[in-house]
Structure 1
Amino acid sequence: MSHHYSGPDYGFPHGDARLDLTDLYAFPKPGGAGKSIVVMNVHPSAGVNPSGPTTREPFSTQAVYELKVDTNGDAVADLAYRVSFSSTNDGSQVATVRRAQGEAAAGDGPGGQTILASARVSTGREALVSEAAGYRFFAGWRSDPFFFDTEGALNNFQFTGRDFFAGKDVCSIVLELPAEALGPTPVGLWQRTLDGRGGTWVQADRGARPSQSVFLTGEQKSDYLAAQPAGDARFAAIFAHSLEHTGGYSPQEAKRVAESLLPDILFYDSRQPASYPHNGRTLTDDVMDGFIALLTNGRVTRDGVEPHRDLLPEFPYLGPPHELA
């Protein structure tokens, strides 16, 4: 399954679907030399056994949605792009995007230099796009680009080619930025949400690679979602045990594969074409075929599902939402 199910017990962290991360994408802007596109998706409109309610309000006004950037390979953020949301008098939402550097980037909260403010959030089919200082920004409901036969996976990998996510929606944060604004390439990227409802900032969810959390249950999953990539080595043994069980790997091979999945960071070089898992991730990369092949040790290699056809050739690239049609 995807990071669509990253929350506790495949539900939503802290009982709020708006804090539930799904997928992270990073790729060079098509036809746009020197620009990169980063897509952070949250708030899925559907899930397996969800434990919290969804809401048509796209984003929490008491949260921070954050892109972390590691520029020197130590799995600690050197840059951070932070998006926070507020409500207007008419009940709509607007976003503020800030950029933090150095030690501040590794911290919590919404701080940083403001690069874009009062960006309107899209709650309809029209994509409301804001621009400032070389950046373009979109936030709002979109067609979920993720594709996978989830029901087949739950039925012992008996795939039928039915895309569970066809017709589903997700909330997207899309940022177009100068490639140099991500720092020296290549870089490591991950996303996280911070929940501020209790008066302090608590990491509700985090991730970069698809499907990492399926190796974990209960307290292990909670610990993983609250952790930082720099400490991910401590989860290698848990991943390896799961791989021995699901894929029939030897202990040595399971350890090797587990260590290849950690830390949970998406590596990206803006100078090269994007293709998961080698460099970034495009909206059409079939990440789940690769994942089920890894999970089953090559016993199963395809789910028969193809990329969605409603993607756009231009910013924000994701198709309009279905439920608002």
Structure 2
Amino acid sequence: MSDHISGPRALSDPIADITDVYAFPSPETAGRLVLVVNTLPMAAPDALFSAGLLYRFRLRPLTRSDDGSGWGFVPGDEELVLDCVFDAPEHVADGTGEHRQRGTCVTPGGEQVSFLVNDEAGGEGRGLRVFAGVRWDPFIMDARAALATIATRKLAFTDPGSIFLDGKNVLGLVIELDTGFLPGWELVGVVAETLTRGEFNVRIERVGRPEVKNMMLAPKEFDPVNRDLEIRDLYNMEDAFHLGDSYAGAFRARLDANLAFWDGLDGTQDWPVGEDGSHPLTDLVLADHLVLDITRPYVETGSFLEIELAARRGEPHATCGGRTLNDDVMDTIFTQLVNAGRGPTIRDGVDGATRPGTDAFPYLARPNPDPPEPPEHH
């Protein structure tokens, strides 16, 4: 789930479908920032990247500001962009019928770093290292139970839970970046995108935090304003750092309704809504980028949303924030949605990936050579 199959376009063109985004200080090398974007749900062991896509990370410095919501992070105008593209696959001339593919990433200084897909050493340039290839999908969540919760309007998690089609693969793209490219930056907003490649780039997908589209925007039945509107492709077209006015009302109506649904699952309202029905979490969700403190060291778990929640309480944050590969972020999300962190942890019964991420480059676990068959879509 996370951002797997997050709308009609992702279903029709899964090669451009972003499944997850991660950003964390390197546990291996001080002064380095790790960025991960996974794409193509249910990737086959021999899957390759699209030569027709641009794979992009966008980073902006964030400053604190009191906007009245308590969330208060404003993206600056300065932006660091990392773009990766891939050549068309080539036949390997050894009679095996296999293909080889090269990729190129452009550093902030304009240097091109070349790498071979599925080469664990990756490619390296000044202050930047890149890996791309098939990896084990590290996402931690009982997706079926989450969907059953929405369908039945009752918490449907069990202990233990199960990861849907555990052992599935994704196409992983990992960039390790010297924080010297971000001079004077402390808090950083991170988003990943897939776009069409060429003279005119059309954004196909963009992802910051997990499960915004599938758990918070997808359900239609609670929204009194846009009950028949599939809203996720419209959301993908928006700039994560500068939401336009055209569809903002539709996004807000959907989130206000769906966030109120999640909050009511335990029978109490922990997020009081405004007189106009506005939900206190809506502004946070719409600021849809990971928030990371690049001056703090790596921590394995507990950093996701920590910076944002500390700001809400008016307290200094204690961790690097962002999102690590092995942090069970869905328990954090469900707990905030349902009881605002005031009650017991809302567990989905899944606490880790069967093959967790590692603490050494390229961080993502090796792929499953025999992944489960993808479900049929009708």
Gaps of 5+ in 2: 63-73, 92-98, 150-154, 219-228, 307-320, 372-378
TM-superposed CA distance for 1:213, in Å, is 0.5
Correspondence 1:164 to 2:161: no
CA 167–247 in structure 1, closer or farther in 2 if over 3 Å, else same: same
How many angstroms apart in 2 are the aligned matches of 1:136 and 1:99?
9
Q: Which of 322, 329, 333 is residue 287 of structure 1 equivalent to?
A: 329
Secondary structure of residue in 2 paired with 1:296: helix
Which residue of structure 1 aligns with residue 96 of structure 2?
A: none
Tell me the matched-pair count: 299
Deviations 1:176-212 (A, max 9, x none): 1111224522211101100248x73211000110111
Q: How many Å separate the matches in 2 of 1:303 and 1:245?
A: 17
Q: 1:212 corresponds to which residue?
A: 212
Matched residues in 2 for 1:76 and 1:295: separation? 31
Residue 237 in structure 1 maps to residue 253 in structure 2: yes
Counterpart of 1:35 in structure 2 is 32
Structure 2 residue aligned with 1:321 = 367
Q: Aligned match of 1:276 in 287, 290, 304?
A: 304
Any conservation in 1 of the 2:61–2:189 contact (CA below 8 Å)?
A: yes
1:256 to 280, 293, 301: 280
Paired residue type of 1:306: D
- Structure 1 counterpart of 2:103, from 79, 95, 99: 95
CA contact (8 A) 1:19 1:193 kept: yes
Counterpart residue type for residue 159 of structure 1: F
C-alpha deviation, 1:6, in angstroms: 2.0
Aligned partner of residue 84 in structure 1, secondary structure? strand
Distance in 1 separating the partners of 2:210 and 2:76 = 18
Q: Does structure 2 conserve the Cα–Cα contact (< 8 Å) formed by 1:83 and 1:97?
A: yes
For 2:294 and 2:120, the matched residues in 1 are separated by 25
CA 1:41–1:232: 2 relative to 1, 3 Å: farther
Q: Report the CA distance between 1:71 and its aligned residue.
A: 2.1
Pair 1:28–1:259, CA change in 2 (3 A)? same
SS across alignment from 1:206: strand
Amino acid at match of 1:194: L
Instruction: Decide whether the 8 Å contact of 2:123 with 2:131 is kept in 1.
Output: yes
Tell me the TM-score normalised to structure 1 length. 0.83
Alignment of 1:122-161 (within 5 A): 122=118, 127-156=120-149, 157-160=155-158, 161=161
Contact 2:47 2:134 (C-alpha < 8 Å) held by counterparts: no
Q: Distance in 1 between matches of 2:107 and 2:126?
A: 13
1:277-312 alpha-carbon deviations (Å, 9 max, x no partner): 131111111110122223334687001112225332
Bigger radius of gyration, 1 or 2?
Answer: 2
Residue 226 (1) aligns with residue 249 (2): no
- Residue 147 of structure 1 aligns to a residue whose secondary structure is coil
Q: Which deviates the most, 224-233 or 277-286?
A: 224-233
Choose which of 121, 128, 132 in structure 1 pairs with 2:117. 121
TM superposition score normalised by structure 2: 0.72
Name the residue aligned to 2:374.
none
Distance verdict in 2 for CA 1:7–1:77, change over 3 Å: farther
Question: Does 62-71 or 214-223 show the bigger shift?
Answer: 214-223
Relative distance call for 1:121 and 1:285 in structure 2 (3 A) is same
The one-letter code matched in structure 2 to 1:304 is G
One-letter code aligned to 1:92: R
Question: Do the aligned partners of 1:143 and 1:320 also contact (CA within 8 Å) in 2?
Answer: yes
Q: Distance in 2 between matches of 1:304 and 1:38?
A: 27
Aligned amino acid, residue 106 of structure 2:
R
Q: Given residue 98 of structure 1, which amino acid in structure 2 is its aligned partner? A: V
Match of 1:63 in 2: 53
Hey, what's the Cα distance between the residues in 1 that align with 2:136 and 2:288? 25
Q: Is the deviation greater in 259-268 or in 159-168?
A: 159-168
Q: Distance in 1 between matches of 2:174 and 2:188?
A: 18
Query: Which of 317, 341, 358 is equivalent to 1:312?
Result: 358
In the superposition, relative to structure 1, how do residues 158 and 57 fare at CA in structure 2: closer, same or farther (>3 Å)? same
Spell out the pairing of 1:169-180 with structure 2 (5 A cutoff): 169-180=169-180
Any conservation in 2 of the 1:147–1:164 contact (CA below 8 Å)? no
Identity of aligned residues (%): 32
Structure 1 residue runs without a partner (length 5+): 47-53, 101-111
> C-alpha distance in 2, partners of 1:293/1:77?
34
Contact 2:45 2:169 in 1 (8 A): no
Question: CA RMSD for the aligned pairs?
Answer: 2.6
Give the Cα separation in 1 of the matches to 2:165 and 2:324: 17
